Amino acid sequence: MDIYIFYGLSILMIFSSIMVLVSKKGIHSLLYLIFSFFTLAGHYVLLNAQFLAVVHIIVYAGAIMVLFLFSVMLLNLNVESEVPKSLYARLAAVVASGLLLVTLISALKGFDISSTKPIHLSQIGTVENLGKILYSDYLLPFEIASVLFISAMVGAVMLGRKELNF
Amino acid sequence: MNTIIILTILAIVVLLLGISSKKQWLVPAIFIGLLLALVGNFLPQLLPASKTVHMLSVDSISKPFTSLMLVLTFLIFLIADHYFVVKKKTVEDVYAIILFSLIGAVILTMFTNMVMFFIGLEIMSVSLYILAGSKKTSSRSNEAAMKYFLMGTFSTGVLLLGITLIYGATGSFDLAQIGTLISSGNVMPSYLKAGILLLTIGVLFKIGAVPFHFWVPDVYHGAPTLITTYMATVVKIAGVVAFYRLYSQSFMGAKDMWTTLMAVMAVATIFVGNLSALHQDRVKRMLAYSSIAHTGYLMLALVAFDHKSVSYLFYYMVAYSVATIGVFSTLMLVRENIKEGTYSMFEGLAKRNSFLSFGMAVSLISLTGLPPLAGFMAKYLVFVQAINEGYLWLTIAAIIGTAISVVYYFRIIVAMYMKTPSDVKITLTTRSRVLLSLFILLTIALGVYPDMILNLCWCGM
């Protein structure tokens, strides 16, 4: 049963990710992106990471994508205003990302899925277990992340403020 | 760990001083704080090691490099004081963000865990994206920040994918555990190699190695010169040390896989850096490409790896950073009088201010790597190390690269000493004189007595 859900979600996810790139209109791309986030959340649920799934939807599909939608609408992006890219740049991008794809596929090709031992712990992704890990083993990175946030906040204020006497 | 705590407190104190009316205390407070952090680096740790053992380790690698970064930041703040008083009214935000990014850089010298590595890298990079755009009225600075941000976050994504694949293959974030697993000889999942490859790409992007160097000239050129100085010295050191820690602790077992790759990229970095520097009109862009070339020499030391390479790396970093700060501080002093950034601003500098041009010449010759200056010993040690490890072809390529670099470094020296001067005289403040003398003395002294640094690194701190 799990395996069918997995393949269904994966196909939907790959489809919507491709549609993000192919869509002509910015809004359509964004809606497909939200859809692919939801399918990713589905994968998290399959892996017993319920908390992560919920947070993923709240943060990405909720907060960040709404921000994206607003900025796309306010900036009024459309095909005409897009700067045309040269054929050379397109070709280079296709070759580069194609090479990355080949590398990843070849890395995964010889891999025998049955050799992994899946850990079936139904409790592994609950808030309780996550909290315990976060406040014991990973306490230090958790606290030091606050330096990252304060730096980003100070920077946002600095960049957003009007510079009167430069 | 002491250093991180002291620096965090210092950055917050700086922000608070900015709100209060006592702004004259800003720079003295930073100096005191940095000195305290330097002392704290060598004192016993405040936090018991049991709390941090799987995340950070203050060891013989981290101590010298952290000290070097603190001293360099101290020197940069000595210049910064003057630089920003001329250009900007509020400085506490920029100062605080420089200190925040320093915290990230310090973490990068002492992490023992992939999670810590990622957080350190992000603290450093996010602060740098902001700093690159801190000159808000300049469109070049905005462009630099935007470019650095977009490319930097993309490379972070690649790096994270790498960490994920490594975690999937080994089941651990701990560097030592990953190291034992890889070198144990067990058959590892095939995607471990892909993980190491992607991680390498992410780190190489941060230190600006070819072919991930395209952001370097634009960002170094667009960012305020002081921030460029910081990026070319402290940030580069942090990146290379992080690289060293990752590879020496975790990926030694997979050495066959990445040494050839790294060797080829080192040669590419040396040649692309040096050859592109030849074609630049603007001094800052030239220096950006020259810093790419120096990344290549540093990668040489990473490829030809044995237990001694850490002290050679350290010596190279000291020599390179002192010379780079010397060059950039001269550039800033000259730019105060002349707006354009081409080579012509150095024309006849020897007549306008002979001391300044002497300092510039010493730093440039040290960057080139001619005896008896520090740059020569640094390159010599790295090259000898590479030959001993059997990378003769790499060393020959690096020597050819050095020969090319003579051309563009000496273009400035020729302009300074052999061109007719413009009328503008440059007067130096006492502080600039003292600083320049310090750079000159250090560059010469380190070249003559390299043991000063090499023994320092070995005394088992």
- Residue pLDDT, tens place only, B190-241: 788 888 989 999 999 988 888 888 899 999 998 888 999 999 999 999 999 9
What is the model's pLDDT at position A134?
Answer: 86
* Residue A95 C-alpha, separation from nearest chain B C-alpha, in angstroms: 15
pLDDT at residue A1, rounded to an integer: 75
Question: Are the C-beta atoms of B41 and B3 separated by less than 8 Å?
Answer: yes
Q: B100, exposed or middle or buried, with CB in 10 Å at 0-12, 13-18, 19+?
A: buried
pLDDT range class, residue B369, cuts 50, 70, 90: confident
Sort out which chain B residues have CB atoms less than 8 A from A165's CB and list them.
89
State the greatest distance between any 2 C-alpha atoms of chain A, in Å, as a whole number. 66
Quote the minimal CA–CA distance from B234 to chain A in Å. 18
- Considering the domain delimited by A2-110+121-160, tell me its CATH architecture: Up-down Bundle (1.20)
On chain A, the residues whose CB falls within 8 A of the CB of B127 are 151, 155
The neighbour count for residue B81, using CB atoms within 10 Å, is 17
Size of interface A-B (CB pairs under 8 A): 90
Please list every residue in chain A whose beta carbon sits closer than 8 Å to the beta carbon of residue B113: 141
Task: Tell me the Ramachandran region of residue B341: left when phi exceeds 0, alpha when psi lies from -120 to 50, beta otherwise.
Answer: alpha
Distance from CA of A135 to the nearest CA of B (A): 11
Tokens standing for residue B169: 């293959």
Distance from CA of A116 to the nearest CA of B (A): 9
Query: A residues 98-117 near B, CB within 8 Å?
Result: 103-104, 107-111, 115-116
Strand partners, B56: B111
- Whole-angstrom Cα distance, residue B385 to residue B389? 6
Selection from B76-80, B108-112, B369-373 with the highest mean pLDDT: B108-112
- Contact check, Cβ <8 Å, A159/B130: yes
Confirm or reject contact between B107 and chain A (CB < 8 A).
yes
d(CA B75, CA B86): 18
Q: Which of B57, B115, B141 to mutate to test the interface with A (most CBs of A within 10 A)?
A: B115
What's the pLDDT at B87? 57
Domain ranges (residues) in chain A: 2-110+121-160
Reported as a single tens digit per residue, the pLDDT across B100-116 is 999 999 999 999 999 99
Cross-chain Cβ contact A138/B133 below 8 Å: no
Report the alpha-carbon distance of residue B220 to residue B286 in Å, rounded: 10
Q: Given an 8 Å threshold on Cβ–Cβ distance, is A166 in contact with B87?
A: yes
Q: What span, in angstroms and rounded, lies between the C-alpha atoms of B214 and B209?
A: 9
Per-residue pLDDT of chain A (166 residues; tens, 9 = 90+): 778 888 999 999 999 999 988 887 778 888 898 889 999 999 988 888 888 899 999 998 888 888 888 887 787 666 566 667 788 888 988 998 899 889 888 887 777 666 666 666 667 777 888 888 888 888 889 999 999 999 999 999 888 887 654 4
Amino acid at B203: V
Residues 133-162 of A with CB under 8 A from B: 137-141, 144-145, 147-148, 150-152, 154-155, 157-159
B6, B103 Cβ separation under 8 angstroms: no
- Entry pTM: 0.90
Residues linked to residue B342 through DSSP beta bridges, in sequence order: B282
B210 to chain A, closest Cα gap in Å: 15
Using a CB-CB cut-off of 8 Å, the residues of chain A touching B114 are none
Q: Is B189 within 8 Å of chain A by CB?
A: yes
Instruction: Say yes or no to pLDDT of B188 above 70.
Output: yes
CB contact under 8 A, A154 and B15: yes
> Tokens for B216?
């370097």
B377-434 per-position pLDDT tens digit: 889 988 988 888 888 888 999 999 999 999 988 888 888 888 777 666 777 788 888 8
B51:A151 CB<8 A:
no
Quick one: pLDDT band at residue B170, thresholds 50, 70, 90?
confident
Cα-Cα-Cα-Cα dihedral sign, residues B146, B147, B153, B157: positive
Nearest chain A residue to B142 by CA: give it. Answer: A159
Instruction: Tell me chain B's radius of gyration from C-alpha atoms.
Output: 21
Tokens of B51: 């709390």
B17 near A CB under 8 A: no
The helix/strand/coil state of B111 is strand
Tell me, what's the ipTM? Answer: 0.86
**8 A C-beta contact, residue A16 and residue A36:** yes
Query: Is residue B453 a contact partner of residue B314, using CB atoms and an 8 Å limit?
Result: yes
Cβ count within 10 A of residue A56 = 18
**Does the beta carbon of B115 lie under 8 angstroms from any beta carbon of chain A?**
yes
Question: Regarding predicted confidence, which is higher, B57 or B99?
Answer: B99
Task: Give the per-residue pLDDT at B460.
Answer: 46
CB atoms within 10 A of CB B396: 14
- Please judge whether A148 and B126 are an interchain contact, meaning their C-beta atoms are less than 8 angstroms apart: yes
HSE (CB half, 13 Å, CA atoms) of A10?
7
Distance CA(B241)–CA(B111), nearest Å, equals: 10
Q: Which residues of B touch A138 (CB under 8 A)?
A: 115
Q: How far apart are CA B138 and CA B225, in angstroms?
A: 13
The rounded distance, in Å, linking the Cα atoms of B64 and A16 is 50
Q: From chain A, pick out residues whose CB is under 8 angstroms from the CB of B120.
A: 144
Whether the CB-CB separation of B127 and B176 falls below 8 Å is answered with: no
List CB contacts (< 8 A) between A107 and chain B: 165, 190-191, 193-194
Mean pLDDT (whole number) for B323-352:
82
Asked if B70 and B230 touch (Cβ cutoff 8 Å), the reply is no
Six-digit token pair at A71? 């900025």
